[in-house]
Structure 1
Amino acid sequence: MDTDSWKGHVNGILYGIQFDRALDDTVVARVADGVVGGLYPGGRAETLDALEQALRYSGPLNDQAETHHSEESIREFLSRLVTALNARAAS
């Protein structure tokens, strides 16, 4: 997956959380449920691949879909989202 592809997935997720005050477990669960339920394009496997690539990327993740969340907060959220998506595959 090239940079534009994974950034599209991440931007879609960031768009969906832009108005959340805190990126807590409720938001993680809501987004994970949305991914599994087909709310986000590409499904669980493609989204996981995109998130894993994003977390390895050294540049900013919110340079196109601005949110009030810090880069550190976004990366921590995406990491927790990966964990949640992996857990949903196991259940």
Structure 2
Amino acid sequence: MKNKKVTLKSVIIILLLIFSLYTIITQQLTMGKIKKDIYKQEKELELVKEKNQKLKDEFELSNTGLYKEKQVRERLGYVKSGETPVIDSKSE
């Protein structure tokens, strides 16, 4: 059996390979976490955009006469002539 000498050069090469593998693995793990965060943030952005659109729609609706009339009727209990008011006993 031949005795192989471990030279300084081979130790340095092995250490560099180990360091390189470690760096690659940690970078891949970090990239995976970042991709998950991006996906989560995109979903959250989508939900916020939907909520924003609903609020815009409600705002536009609130500027109509029908909406204002509905609010006055609900909050103040106004009724048009000829209408019969209905009182919900569960809401009290």
Instruction: Tell me if both proteins adopt one fold, taking TM over 0.5 as the criterion.
Output: no
TM range (shorter): under 0.3
- Larger RCO of the pair (alpha carbons < 8 Å, separation 6+): 1
Higher helix share: 2
TM-score normalised by structure 1 residue count: 0.24
